[in-house]
């Protein structure tokens, strides 16, 4: 009969072989955690390899994603669509076995990991999603949402500051179906971690309100099994299982050492490890009895079918709830969404409110929130400034979620953790999450925003206080380079609306961008309403459009602006008209969307024949060179801001009608 250790050794062998073939990778962690993974995947984890996305599966995340061959070996052995040929192509171009797990590339991978600590944060988001969905949909005798989230993590994840942020929240929220397994091997790339990591990790997590299981031998399958059983037997607290392991377990000369962490073991050492482990098979060869011990196809099909049967009974008893659950799992918006959201945008155009775009954002949430039960959001302790709470907001982390109405998350001052949790909420399914802070503090969250785009995940990142216009708080709080920084993230849409209408349109676009992220950037100060035709309102969704053209003359120059500077561009246009100069004004709320438009549309808005162009934005100037060219000018920021009332700052830094008018005259003549 095949033993547990033999099953685990299959993982070790595949990890050694793949890393050796690539001459690149991290064999130590997979070899060290193989025994733990065997117990979890064979005895506890509910999944179906034939349908990796069925809604009530348990989620497994590898926060220490450098050990990706652990996950690839598990997926292959248990029957996912990851053939041996892909393992042989580990870390090669266009393979399904990238250096770190990628959710968009590999079936069975729940999230893209590698930046340490973020996998734990995503897991917290998924566990929160399970809790809130269960409160909303479950009914007595019908637990259609009932699954665990398991996450493996290492010393590096725990050293990263994000681990403190999200572990604190998980304990506060009582995420009892979250189980984290700590690979305590004492080794990082630089060597033994006791020289730089002496935290009392169990004590730390106990202080966060976690259930902590200490001192588990990670190579004793029965001890691991008992620990996981203890963790899943309770649902009041998240659990940290502290497993002591030997990195590179089975490598006679490199186990327990940093040499096994981040490099191939070498052919001789791989051969020696095979002998020590008693693994008699050639590279990439798995005997039938080992495959049989891992095969989850029948078991997975049965567990999913059991859930389907339970859901069918649920649908019979609660047909409307069942239909809503299925809609949200498909990621489809409500049937009346398109009509009602567009009607709201049109209504704003007629009413013309002159408010800060952050207030317009809140007004939009008041309008869109009742239409979207899947909308869940929160702010990093700035709800009163970000204006992210709407009339129907109720606490999702505590209290109200028990009644099924939770849709607002109080994140506290944890921008990085907040954004990575939002990614987890999005990836879980059933939610469209948003988070919020000041734009300048997007720096704290930026890597999670980057991961939103890379995974990708439909997280909506809301940023307010978007320029020097926030005033007296000064340069520490005034974003300068941040818009450009966010725009340079591939796959990310950054909207900076100029009034309430564009604000609502940007929310609509972000909500409709299925599976992909957006950043919505709003002002502190009030913004003037801009008049538009019905066609112009529709063109907002194209990212850039002609807001104003001279009525009786061919324009001589083009002014391009975003946000609060659109109003300035319009004033400059009117001044120039009085002086006999015809100017077109283009509002460009989202450059990424505009750049993706057909060439004919872009040419119609920014015709090549008109090289006299001036861009106006209270942010880093150089970004706009791609639109104005060498012949144009940019009225922008070339330094940090200063502490003073906003009107004084705009004048000091050249955001005045006269300055813009002079710039236009220079590019025309």
Positions marked active-site: 415
The separation between CA 489 and the C-alpha centre of its own chain, rounded to angstroms, equals 13
**C-beta separation of 138 from 89 below 8 A:** no
Radius of gyration of the chain (CA): 28
The answer to whether residues 453 and 510 touch, using CB atoms and an 8 Å cutoff, is: no
| Distance from C-alpha of 250 to C-alpha of 201, rounded to nearest angstrom | 27
Task: Report the candidate in 521, 594, 585 with the shortest Cα–Cα distance to residue 360.
Answer: 521
Contact by Cβ (8 Å): 63, 151: yes
Inter-residue contact 98 to 105 (CB < 8 Å)? yes
The b-or-e profile of 95-125 (16+ CB within 10 A means b, else e) is bbbbbbbbbeebebbbbbbbbbbbbbbbbbb
Convert 518-533 into a string of H (helix), E (strand) and C (coil). EEEECCCCECCCCCCC
Tokens of 92: 């090669």
Residue 533 Cα distances to 346, 359, 439, 546, 567, angstroms: 10, 23, 31, 11, 17
Are the C-beta atoms of residues 575 and 549 closer than 8 Å to each other? no
Q: What are phi and psi of 376, to 5 degrees?
A: -135, 130
Q: How many CB atoms lie within 10 A of CB 321?
A: 18
Do the strands 493-495 and 239-244 form a parallel or antiparallel pair, or are they unpaired?
Answer: unpaired
Q: How far apart are CA 228 and CA 243, in angstroms?
A: 11
**Inter-residue contact 243 to 218 (CB < 8 Å):** yes
- Three state DSSP letters for 428-445: HCCCEEEEEEEHHHHHHH
Q: Which of 95, 84, 41, 404 has the alpha carbon at shortest distance from 224?
A: 41
Strand order in the sheet with 583-587: 545-548, 583-587, 557-561, 613-620, 633-637
Say whether the peptide bond before residue 456 is cis (omega within 30 degrees of 0): yes
What is the token pair recorded at 419? 């954004």
Q: Which two tokens stand for residue 44?
A: 């506890």
């Amino acid at each position: 009969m095949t033993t547990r250790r033999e099953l685990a050794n299959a993982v070790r062998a595949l990890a050694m072989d793949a890393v050796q073939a690539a001459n690149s990778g991290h064999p130590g962690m997979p070899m060290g955690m193989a025994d733990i993974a065997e117990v979890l995947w064979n005895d506890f984890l509910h999944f179906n390899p034939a349908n990796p996305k069925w809604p009530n599966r348990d989620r497994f995340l590898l926060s220490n994603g450098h050990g990706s061959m652990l996950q690839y070996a598990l997926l292959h052995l248990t029957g996912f669509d990851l053939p041996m040929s892909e393992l042989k192509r580990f870390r090669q171009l266009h393979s399904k076995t990238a250096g770190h797990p990628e959710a968009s590339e590999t079936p069975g991978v729940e999230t893209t990991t590698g930046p340490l600590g973020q996998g734990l944060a995503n897991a917290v988001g998924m566990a929160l999603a399970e809790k809130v969905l269960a409160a909303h949909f479950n009914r007595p005798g019908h637990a259609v949402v009932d699954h665990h989230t398991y996450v493996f993590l290492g010393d590096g994840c725990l050293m990263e500051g994000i681990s403190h942020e999200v572990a604190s929240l998980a304990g506060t929220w009582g995420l009892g179906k979250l189980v984290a397994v700590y690979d305590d091997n004492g080794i990082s790339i630089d060597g033994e971690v006791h020289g730089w990591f002496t935290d009392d990790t169990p004590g730390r997590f106990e202080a966060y309100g976690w259930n902590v299981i200490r001192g588990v031998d990670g190579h004793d399958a029965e001890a691991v099994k008992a620990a996981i059983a203890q963790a899943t037997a309770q649902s009041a607290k998240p659990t940290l299982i502290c497993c002591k392991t030997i990195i590179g377990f089975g490598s006679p000369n490199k186990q327990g050492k940093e040499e096994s962490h981040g490099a191939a073991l070498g052919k001789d050492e791989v051969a020696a490890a095979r002998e020590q482990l008693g693994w008699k098979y050639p590279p990439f060869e798995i005997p039938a009895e080992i495959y049989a011990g891992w095969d989850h196809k029948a078991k997975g099909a049965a567990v999913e079918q059991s859930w389907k049967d339970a859901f069918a009974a649920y649908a019979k008893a609660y047909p409307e709830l069942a239909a809503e659950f299925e809609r949200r799992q498909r990621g489809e918006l409500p049937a009346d969404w398109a009509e009602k959201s567009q009607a709201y945008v049109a209504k704003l155009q007629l009413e013309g409110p002159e408010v800060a775009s952050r207030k317009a954002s809140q007004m939009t949430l008041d309008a869109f929130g009742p239409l979207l039960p899947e909308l869940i959001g929160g702010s990093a302790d700035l709800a009163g400034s970000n204006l992210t709470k709407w009339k129907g907001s109720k606490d999702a982390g505590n209290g109200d979620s028990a009644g099924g109405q939770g849709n607002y998350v109080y994140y506290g001052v944890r921008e990085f953790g907040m954004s990575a949790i939002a990614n987890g909420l999005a990836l879980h399914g059933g939610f469209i999450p948003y988070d919020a802070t000041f734009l300048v503090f997007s720096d704290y969250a930026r890597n999670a925003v980057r991961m939103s785009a890379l995974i990708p995940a439909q997280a909506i990142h809301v940023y307010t206080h978007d320029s020097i216009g926030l005033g007296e708080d000064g340069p520490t709080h005034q974003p300068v380079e941040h818009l450009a920084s966010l725009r340079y993230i591939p796959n990310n849409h950054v909207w900076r609306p100029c009034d309430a209408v564009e604000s609502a349109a940007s929310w609509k676009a972000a909500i409709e961008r299925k599976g992909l992220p957006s950043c919505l950037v709003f002002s502190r100060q009030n913004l003037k309403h801009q008049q538009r035709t019905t066609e112009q309102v529709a063109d907002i969704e194209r990212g850039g459009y002609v807001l104003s053209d001279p009525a009786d003359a061919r324009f001589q120059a083009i002014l391009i602006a975003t946000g609060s500077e659109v109003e300035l561009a319009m004033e400059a246009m009117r001044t120039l008209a009085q002086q006999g100069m015809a100017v077109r004004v283009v509002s460009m709320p989202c450059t990424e969307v505009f750049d993706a438009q057909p060439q004919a549309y872009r040419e119609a808005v920014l015709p090549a024949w008109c090289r006299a162009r001036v861009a106006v934005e209270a942010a880093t100037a150089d970004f706009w060179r791609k639109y104005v060219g060498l012949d144009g000018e940019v009225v922008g920021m070339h330094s940090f801001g200063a502490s003073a009332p906003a009107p004084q700052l705009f004048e000091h830094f050249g955001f005045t009608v006269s300055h813009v008018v002079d710039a236009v005259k220079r590019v025309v003549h």
